[in-house]
Amino acid sequence: MTNPYVQALDELGAVMSRLDNHAVEHACRLVEEADKIVLHGLGREGLQVKGFCMRLFHMWLNVSMVGDMTTPHLGPGDLFVVSSGPGALATAGELMKIARGAGAAVLLITAQPEAALRRHADHLLVLPAQTMADDQGASASRILPMGSAFEGALFVVFEVMVAKLKEMMGITAEDMRTRHTNME
């Protein structure tokens, strides 16, 4: 019997082996150059996005999540980052239209590059992972259900992006630690 932990990591490794590193580096440049960054994700994807938001905050970036009371008005020079693995969430599409209409750039992170949301994005980062849009049939994951492969890939990609951004911006772990809350 195959070790299920190794099998899950193998599935995530297969996603990472198909990932376009240039697209990840482009996403990092967008984040680094943005005046303000607002992020959006729903469900389990949203949990990964919130973790990324926290790390960007630790890097002294002006960042927030849609729905927070302190989310700023977006405009030119700003970046709206949306995660939608299946690529067809109505809420995400409406928010993308609002951000673009205000002049902000929109980065869509998805597993479905031809999905409907693509038309509202200026930039695209494709994570070639299974989502609920393609979780059935012979090609379905053997261990990671529904959108878990995409969600796990988000975590890995976001952590690598943080490492790349640290290097690009000359930020140390000690710098980041000074922004970690003392209210725990």
Residue tagged active-site, from 25, 151, 167, 184 = 151
> Is residue 180 in some structural domain?
no
Name the more confident of 183 and 47: 47
Task: Give yes or no: 151 in active site.
Answer: yes
> Is residue 63 in some structural domain?
yes
For strand 123-126 and strand 105-110, is the pairing parallel, antiparallel, or unpaired?
parallel
Report the CATH number that the domain containing residue 52 is assigned in CATH.
3.40.50.10490
Domain count within the chain: 1
Name the more confident of 182 and 73: 73
Q: What is the pLDDT of residues 71-115, one digit of tens each?
A: 999 999 999 999 988 778 889 999 999 999 999 999 999 988 888
Q: What is the pLDDT of residues 23-56, one digit of tens each?
A: 999 999 999 999 999 999 998 889 999 999 999 9
**pTM score of the predicted model:** 0.91
> Is residue 175 in some structural domain?
no
Q: Are 48 and 153 in contact, with CB atoms under 8 Å apart?
A: no
> Is residue 14 in some structural domain?
yes
Q: Are 81 and 107 in contact, with CB atoms under 8 Å apart?
A: yes
